[in-house]
Structure 1
Amino acid sequence: MISDKTENIIVKFLTNQATASELEALESWVEDAKNKELFKEYIKINYAVEYNMKEFDSQKLRMMLLDAFAGEKKEKKRNKVRKIISYSAAAAVVLGMLTTTYLYTTDFFDKPVEVPVVVNNTISVGTNKAVLTLEDGSDVTLEKNKIYKKNNVVSNGEELVYNNDGKTKSGLVYNYLTIPRGGQFQIKLADGTEVWLNSETKLKFPVAFAEGTPREVELIYGEAFFDVSPSTEHKGAKFKVLNKNQEVEVLGTEFNIKAYKDEDKIYTTLVEGKVSISNLTSKKYLSPNQQAIINHTNTDIMINTIDAYNEVLWTKGIFSFKGKTLKEIMTVMSRWYDVDVVFKNVKLEKEKFNGVLSKNDEIREILSIIKKTNFINDYEIKDRKITIK
């Protein structure tokens, strides 16, 4: 029998609320063969019934759980907040697997399965790729499994690293990193700051930072997650991220900015530390799990309390859609899979969907999942255009 304490941890794990210490306790508990069976039965009774699942791969679930924990143990350098975010991501993947298993093994209301129309389907899953623009204006294509090295810059095809002491006395020299649709990339700046760049994103940054001045980069457009090197390691130099309607100033922290060209709002989410958000008329401060929203049409800065991990799961290879409309979801899909999406029935754009999916899934798999939830009637893929019906 599962104790009340363990049951509470399991529930918190499945709802992304468990702390790092609680998850470590759960890991140890699940390693016992008897407890593994109790864990399996608990999920079947409390979640499989809810989803009306016909199949349950307990071994796969256990391996996913243990693999997630093992992976976290290897990354000792990350702080407690980052661990909790990653554990939550692991929980989200498990729940996503449960839901996906249900969707693929159950036919809602015994309806006959209709095969969507797919013509010339050559849509690939997004991958690591970027274009580096050097100070002389020349472009370098960075791709997975492709090595690039020049002077103090090196790339393994997944990350771009600037290796130097992070200081310059001869004036700032800027490079640009552009991530196309269907791409993602990471960069380690000269000061040690790490940045994860999402699809359709462009970052301007100095090759080396000047002593005695704030460290500044510009997110020209797109989405980026910053793990900033502390100011204590740079003689107190603050770190600033500039973009069209705001300036974010930090001392050393983790935060996410989403500022796409085709969206009328800028979202800044704080994971750890403290940042200030300012524009032409006001300045506000964020605490962890707060999000600032600035609308291009006015100067107000609105602050909301949210689950920060949900906003940064994309850096872990996960799509997390919580209360998102189908239009918002399809916008994310179009960037990652480099496709155009249109709605034949515009009313469907406002339908809201909750789901946790892998960024490694084929686009057809994701569309099939959404279809089987009865949110959409059907879809059609023709060349690089998806029509939602």
Structure 2
Amino acid sequence: MMEYPKDYKISRLIAKKMIGTILPAEEEKLEAWLKEDVRNGELFQRILEGKNVPDRDLYAERFEVNESWVVIKKQLVEQDKRWSISPWWMGIAASIVLLVGIGLYLGLLRKPAVQEIAQPIARIETGGSKAVLITSSGDKIVLQDTSMQLISLGSGMIARNDGSRVSYEGVGEGDGEDVLAYNTIRVPRGGEYKLFLSDSTEVFLNSGSEIRFPVKFGKSKRDVFLRGEAFFIVKKDASRPFVVNADDKVSVEVLGTQFNLQAYPDKKMVETTLNEGLVRVYDKKQSVKIKPDQQVVYNCEDSKLVVREVDASLYSAWKDGRLVLLNNTLEDIMACLGRWYNIDVFWVNPELKEYHFSGELARYEDFMEILDMLEKATRVHFEVKDRTVFVSKIFK
């Protein structure tokens, strides 16, 4: 089963405990770790009560990445300044999050070097809720307005838009003929949007994605068509299975469940990850069923379906503004950031694409913060010109 190293998990729980955001289930895991070994409790107390850098040094020594720690330790003074308006423990917790979230557990670690971050010519910020609705008649309606919109779709159906989500409302489901009028919602790079279908199914759309769906579902089926990535919370209806057709490659059939589906056209894999319920993933030749915390990976090159065990919540973390890295390549990371921030990437040294990372990133308002953390943890340099990021290797 793919998962974080144990030290990584515990460090995040400690940080959450210190800043007061730990959940009850997470606190139980932390308590269990504390009871495993008396030294764990002593270490936790030193972190909790310590007010200076040496206490953080002691904690960081638990990780088998000493070279990376030596460099990042030199930057803690600067990190403390960033949190100077907060209580002392907020600074320590923030440093722990920074250290273990991106800097300490690297799949391809090289001896790091401190490098200045290039200043952007144009400020690159995360996008917000924005999308375009394309009606069955071809009309294009921008959905990012903050004011309420009521869009008449005919046959008693309306689309209600509030600036961050759109919902379809009107006459009852399944009482019409199976001659359906389809709408499309297209989310650009740098955007995100939430959709309520006419059967009350919820769809969270990620950047650079689009979904084609009936204004009102017919009597016998509920079919939608996805390109990109979306998280679905499907309304249960035993008489009408819900089917997501992923970029003309595979289909996912459910009755009522929660799952994440990633099917970007430029990726070689289509990933279906199940959070709750039961789904069937199939193409014209094969079919598999999966249970919660399982994932089906469809390889577009050999057309094979492979099932693997995962922590499903990590794959849908994007809808909460987090990118969880599980030994991801730098190429995948930059592709995701490209969609989130609507930037292009130029690889000065293409071999850097294969660097691997595990950790966690957030959709910061300032894009440079993410590049800053990546630079501090590895021998990679980022230079931003307009909306293009140049990625090069640090040789010294």
Sort the TM-score into its range (normalised by shorter chain).
0.7 to 0.9
Between 188-197 and 144-153, report the one with greater CA deviation. Answer: 144-153
> TM-score of the superposition, structure 2-length normalised?
0.74
> Match of 2:280?
276
Q: How far apart, CA to CA, are the structure 2 residues paired with 1:110 and 1:195?
A: 41
Q: How far apart, CA to CA, are the structure 1 residues paired with 2:162 and 2:95?
A: 30
Give aligned-pair identity as a percent.
29
Could you list the runs of 5+ residues in structure 1 that have no partner in the other structure? 1-8, 29-35, 66-92
Q: How far apart, CA to CA, are the structure 2 residues paired with 1:311 and 1:159?
A: 22
Decide whether aligned partners of structure 1 residues 115 and 186 sit closer, same or farther in structure 2, where only a CA change above 3 A counts: closer
Aligned-partner residue type, residue 362 of structure 1: D
Q: How far apart, CA to CA, are the structure 2 residues paired with 1:113 and 1:252?
A: 50
Decide whether aligned partners of structure 1 residues 172 and 379 sit closer, same or farther in structure 2, where only a CA change above 3 A counts: same
Aligned-partner residue type, residue 192 of structure 2: Q
- 1:132 matches 2:128: no
> Match of 1:114?
116
Q: How far apart, CA to CA, are the structure 2 residues paired with 1:295 and 1:111?
A: 37
> Match of 2:225?
218
Q: Is the 8 A contact 1:258 1:267 kept in 2?
A: yes
> Match of 1:196?
204
Q: What is the deviation of 1:348? A: 1.0
TM-superposition CA deviations, 1:72-122 (whole Å, max 9, x none): xxxxxxxxxxxxxxxxxxxxx99645657989xxxx99966524253x223
Between 184-193 and 236-245, report the one with greater CA deviation. Answer: 236-245
Q: What is the deviation of 1:47? A: 4.0
> Match of 1:386?
389
Decide whether aligned partners of structure 1 residues 41 and 298 sit closer, same or farther in structure 2, where only a CA change above 3 A counts: same
Q: How does 1:160-309 map to 2 (within 5 A)?
A: 160-164=166-170, 165-170=172-177, 171-211=179-219, 213-219=220-226, 221-231=227-237, 236-243=239-246, 244-309=248-313
Decide whether aligned partners of structure 1 residues 177 and 96 sit closer, same or farther in structure 2, where only a CA change above 3 A counts: farther
Aligned-partner residue type, residue 353 of structure 1: F
TM-superposition CA deviations, 1:267-310 (whole Å, max 9, x none): 11111111001111111101111111112222321111111111
Aligned-partner residue type, residue 187 of structure 2: I
Decide whether aligned partners of structure 1 residues 195 and 174 sit closer, same or farther in structure 2, where only a CA change above 3 A counts: same
Q: 1:358 aligns with which of 348, 353, 362?
A: 362
Q: Is the 8 A contact 2:189 2:208 kept in 1?
A: yes
Aligned-partner residue type, residue 338 of structure 1: N
Q: What is the deviation of 1:26? A: 8.4
Decide whether aligned partners of structure 1 residues 60 and 156 sit closer, same or farther in structure 2, where only a CA change above 3 A counts: farther
Aligned-partner residue type, residue 163 of structure 2: G
Aligned-partner residue type, residue 40 of structure 1: L
TM-superposition CA deviations, 1:112-164 (whole Å, max 9, x none): 6524253x223221211000011211000111524321232111111111123
> Match of 2:321?
317
TM-superposition CA deviations, 1:208-255 (whole Å, max 9, x none): 1122x0211111x10011010112xxx532111112111111111111
Q: What is the deviation of 1:166? A: 3.1
> Match of 2:155?
none
Q: How far apart, CA to CA, are the structure 1 residues paired with 2:331 and 2:352?
A: 8
Q: How far apart, CA to CA, are the structure 1 residues paired with 2:30 and 2:87?
A: 14
TM-superposition CA deviations, 1:19-50 (whole Å, max 9, x none): 9753466899xxxxxxx977724995774555
Q: What is the deviation of 1:372? A: 0.6
Secondary structure at the aligned position of 2:328 is classed as strand
Secondary structure at the aligned position of 1:157 is classed as coil
Q: How far apart, CA to CA, are the structure 2 residues paired with 1:313 and 1:144?
A: 26
Aligned-partner residue type, residue 168 of structure 2: Y
Aligned-partner residue type, residue 139 of structure 1: K
Q: How does 1:329-340 map to 2 (within 5 A)?
A: 329-340=333-344
Between 142-151 and 124-133, report the one with greater CA deviation. Answer: 142-151
Q: How far apart, CA to CA, are the structure 2 residues paired with 1:236 and 1:60?
A: 58
Q: Is the 8 A contact 2:111 2:379 kept in 1?
A: no
Q: Is the 8 A contact 1:128 1:144 kept in 2?
A: no
- Say what the alpha-carbon RMSD is for the aligned residues: 3.5
Secondary structure at the aligned position of 2:143 is classed as strand
Q: How far apart, CA to CA, are the structure 1 residues paired with 2:218 and 2:113?
A: 65
Q: Is the 8 A contact 2:112 2:377 kept in 1?
A: no
Q: How far apart, CA to CA, are the structure 2 residues paired with 1:101 and 1:59?
A: 23
Count of residue correspondences: 335
> TM-score of the superposition, structure 1-length normalised?
0.76
> Match of 2:36?
none
> Match of 1:71?
none
Decide whether aligned partners of structure 1 residues 125 and 134 sit closer, same or farther in structure 2, where only a CA change above 3 A counts: same
Decide whether aligned partners of structure 1 residues 101 and 328 sit closer, same or farther in structure 2, where only a CA change above 3 A counts: closer
Q: How far apart, CA to CA, are the structure 2 residues paired with 1:15 and 1:299?
A: 42
Q: How far apart, CA to CA, are the structure 2 residues paired with 1:204 and 1:94?
A: 44
